[in-house]
Structure 1
Amino acid sequence: MYLQSLYIENFRNYSQQKVEFNAPKTILMGNNAQGKSNLLEAVELLGTLNSHRKARDRDLIQSGASIAHICGKLEREISTDTLKLTLRRQGHRTVNLNGENLRRQMDFLGVLNAVQFSSVDLDLVRGSPDVRRCWLDTLLVQLEPVYAYILKQYNQTLRQRNAHLKVCQKSESPSGLEELAIWNNQLITYGTRVIRRRERAIQRLAPIAAHWHSNISNSTEYLQISYDSHIPLEYNSPEIIRKSFLDKLQQRSVAEVSQGTTLVGPHRDEVKLSINQIPAQQYSSQGQQRTLVLALKLAELQLIEEVVGEPPLLLLDDVLAELDLLRQNQLLDTIQDHFQTLITTTHLGAFDAQWLHSSQILHVYYGKVISE
């Protein structure tokens, strides 16, 4: 797939900007705080409807404006699609595909696939379990767009169940516990779907990431990735998982009512990362962490291409500054012209002459994009 053009209006620090992409690799160069990352964020939103910055819609809209637009024209092997996302300061966002407003945002997902890689991604190793769950969920939305709906339903049920637990915490009424059983059933239904899909994704991703990690580390280290759930997953059978889920909820019911929160479910699960069977979060060096994250991102690219049938876009946000020369070369050599790549940088020193010759270079200055 190839993003031909991007148009943004009242988005972040851009009042109005159109960018035409005319090379497989586009280098966005400029000083910090000029708007380079904002352009990548706009593309990310067209692909996943989410920003890795965790920004609210009203924070994405330019000050003084009530509405913002992000539009992209995408060339795929079987079609050319026009995508439009409209953000509103007051009210819901809307999505439009090929001139038609879509009733379900889920139908917008999976048209443009993109992998984002920034310095923030180093938190995949050293950050909290929530960071790794979010990374896995974002990948799953690209592999299986319906997962966005499943995860949304689970999170809504979780919030409602937590609210009910707080009511039970203040009251010993039997009716409260009876109603809790209803929430249990819904939590188990959606939670089982989340758990099984996460487990399957990790099973597919793990060997690919291990292969890349071995290449980058010259076969001196072995990467292991596993999905660590509170619910036993030995058979990955929905019936067995549902029963185990219910057993765990019943076992923790007293503690849950006492604390007023749900203690069992995929929102408490972990993605375990180990190097030579040692937990990476605790013992890996900074260099090992960078190698691990680079391997994960390269594995994401490969897995999405295998599932979707086309190479996704790669969005590199000032990431070369975080990698040493060896890892920079590994990443740049892998990209070549296979993946359309948008890369931000403050200088061109990390790129060799061949890379620069085959790249489109755009200068970003205070919310304006200028061709070289």
Structure 2
Amino acid sequence: MYLKTLQLRQFRNYQDQKVEFNAAKAILVGNNAQGKSNLLEAVELLATLRSHRMARDRDLIQDGAEFAQINASLERDVGISDLTLTLRRNGRRSVAINGEIVRRQMDFLGVLNAVQFSSLDLELVRGSPEVRRNWLDTLLIQLEPVYAHILHQYNQVLRQRNAFLKKNQESALALNTQNTQLALWDAQLATTGTRVIRRRDRAIQRLAPIAAAWHASISGSTEILEIKYSPNIPLEQQQPEQVQQAFLNKIQQRAVAELYRGTTLVGPHRDEVELTINQTPARQYGSQGQQRTLVLALKLAELQLIEEVVKEPPLLLLDDVLAELDPYRQNQLLDAIQDRFQTLITTTHLSSFDAQWLNSSQILFVKAGEISIN
């Protein structure tokens, strides 16, 4: 797939800017806080309808404006698609493909696929379990767009169940675990949560060997990477009804604690993705360089898995990440990319790139939300 054009209106610090991409690699050069990352964020939103910055829509819209719009023209094997995402200050979004409004947003997902790699991704190793869950969910949305709907359903039930527990927290002793209304929320949580768990498990099973192979390649086979999905619900059995029953059993076990604390303690919102190198937790292991090798292996594995599933190479968005990698890892990444993936790269200077890369790349200069060729 190839992103031909991108137009940003009233988005972040862009008033009205159109970019035409004419090479497989585009390098966006500029000082910090000029808008380089904002452009990559726009592409990420078209791919996943999510931002790794976790911003609210109103934060993406220019001050004084009621809406922001992202337009793109994308060329794929099946033809050219014009994509439009409109963000409104009231939080209501709309999406369109070839000028036709798409009623269900999940039908917009999967048209454009992209993998984002930024310095923030080092938190995949060092950060909280929530960071790894968000990373896995974002990947899953691209592998299986219906997952966005499944995750939304689960989060909706979780919010409503939490509100019920909070409301009844003070009268927890009077509210026994057989309460009919609570039992309804339990059943819905187990049903929706099981769908999330099974898809997360399946995705990690596919990703783990690919990431391990990349990691072995980058580390010279001196280190063994293992990625393991560690769900909050026991997953000895794979059948949906068995997972669902295990879910309900654990809810029963934690019922008193949930009522006492007024929040849901059971479910995929408490899952973990365990990353180990040579059987040692990665966050405790070795140098920052080794942690960067792990994240690089994860990102290369994402690219490969998405390409295998969608049958076309996704876009690669590199947000100021070369500065975080030493020359050896930079070369590993750049060699893996070649011209196989259309790549948008942000940088504050061009010295990280050799002459061959610079000669085969489109170089765009970004200053205060305006893009120029020289």
> Shorter-chain TM-score: which interval?
over 0.9
Q: For 1:307-343, what per-residue CA distance to the aligned partner results, in whole angstroms no more than 9, with x for missing partners?
A: 0000000000000000000100000000010000000
Aligned counterparts of 1:126 and 1:59: Cα–Cα separation in 2 = 27
1:126 maps to which residue?
126
- 8 Å Cα contact 2:118/2:319 also seen in 1: yes
Unaligned runs of 5+ in 1: none
The answer to whether 1:140 aligns with 2:123 is no
- Amino acid in structure 1 at the alignment position of 2:99: G
1:84 maps to which residue?
84
Aligned counterparts of 1:322 and 1:147: Cα–Cα separation in 2 = 32
2:217 maps to which residue?
215
Aligned counterparts of 1:14 and 1:299: Cα–Cα separation in 2 = 32
1:152 maps to which residue?
152
Secondary structure of the corresponding residue to residue 132 of structure 1: helix
1:52 maps to which residue?
52
Aligned counterparts of 1:90 and 1:96: Cα–Cα separation in 2 = 19
The answer to whether 1:187 aligns with 2:189 is yes
Q: Taking every aligned residue pair, what percent have the same amino acid on both sides?
A: 72
Q: For 1:161-186, what per-residue CA distance to the aligned partner results, in whole angstroms no more than 9, with x for missing partners?
A: 01111122122245982210000000
1:303 maps to which residue?
305
The answer to whether 1:321 aligns with 2:323 is yes
The answer to whether 1:312 aligns with 2:314 is yes
1:345 maps to which residue?
347
The answer to whether 1:369 aligns with 2:343 is no
Correspondence for 1:331 among 330, 333, 345: 333
The answer to whether 1:358 aligns with 2:360 is yes
2:246 maps to which residue?
244
Q: For 1:203-257, what per-residue CA distance to the aligned partner results, in whole angstroms no more than 9, with x for missing partners?
A: 0000000000000000000000010012222231111101110100000000000
TM-score, structure 2 normalization: 0.98
CA 1:108 to 1:219, structure 2 compared with 1: closer, same or farther past 3 Å? same
1:97 maps to which residue?
97
Aligned counterparts of 1:361 and 1:230: Cα–Cα separation in 2 = 46
- Amino acid in structure 2 at the alignment position of 1:351: F
Aligned counterparts of 1:269 and 1:43: Cα–Cα separation in 2 = 28
Could you tell which deviates more after superposition, 235-244 or 7-16? Answer: 235-244
CA shift, 1:299, in A, is 0.1
- 8 Å Cα contact 1:4/1:74 also seen in 2: yes
Aligned counterparts of 2:288 and 2:363: Cα–Cα separation in 1 = 31
Secondary structure of the corresponding residue to residue 26 of structure 1: strand
- 8 Å Cα contact 1:275/1:284 also seen in 2: no
Aligned counterparts of 2:175 and 2:12: Cα–Cα separation in 1 = 50
Aligned counterparts of 1:98 and 1:261: Cα–Cα separation in 2 = 44
Pairwise CA RMSD of aligned residues? 1.0
Secondary structure of the corresponding residue to residue 170 of structure 1: coil
2:164 maps to which residue?
164
Secondary structure of the corresponding residue to residue 46 of structure 1: helix
- 8 Å Cα contact 2:6/2:18 also seen in 1: yes
Unaligned runs of 5+ in 2: none
CA shift, 1:54, in A, is 0.6
CA shift, 1:64, in A, is 1.3
- 8 Å Cα contact 1:96/1:108 also seen in 2: yes
Could you tell which deviates more after superposition, 314-323 or 228-237? Answer: 228-237
- 8 Å Cα contact 2:7/2:71 also seen in 1: yes
